[in-house]
Amino acid sequence: MSIDQNNKTIAATKQYIEAKSLEFKTGNSPDNPSLSADYLIGKPVSGGNQFDFQAIQGFDFPTAYKHRSNLADTKIELLKIELISLKQQVLFEAKTLMLEAIYLKQYQNILSTRLETSEAIVNNYQKMYEAELISALELNKAKIQLLSIRGEIGRAHV
């Protein structure tokens, strides 16, 4: 599963860039032509009837179209750079989260091993205490160590 393909922010930004690209490319052509026709009845009759047809098209200097096109291309490139920046930011955040998850998993494994060891030590100390080989102080130290490890495990799960 690829993050940049499935991230909704990146997908929305790609669609936004496509829409803006189309917007930047539109409007760089001459205005729509206007057509008009008039039928004029001549007076006096000897002057004859007249039919006028007009086609009007406004346009700018050719360099204006070139500059608008270059400006649109520049704006599109800026949007593409923003998309690359967004992708890098999202991928960095994902990588950071993944590394943190890996760290926490390994930390939990270490704590689990320490817990098992500490429980085994407490059990052995309990047997040794019951056999009166060690004092209650040593047994309590082992129990405190066990409680400390359980507290660390509780904090690690949060």
Using one digit for the tens of pLDDT, what is the confidence trace for 69-89?
888 899 999 999 999 999 999
> Which residue do the tokens 């890996």 mark?
102
The confidence score (pLDDT) of residue 155 equals: 85
The confidence score (pLDDT) of residue 119 equals: 94
The confidence score (pLDDT) of residue 26 equals: 82
Q: What's the pTM?
A: 0.62
Mean pLDDT of the chain: 86
User: What is the spatial distance between Cα 46 and Cα 67, in angstroms, rounded to a whole number?
Assistant: 54
Ranges of the chain with pLDDT below 70: 1, 28, 30, 45-47, 59, 157-158
The confidence score (pLDDT) of residue 156 equals: 78
Q: 153, 115 in Cβ contact below 8 A?
A: yes
The confidence score (pLDDT) of residue 137 equals: 93
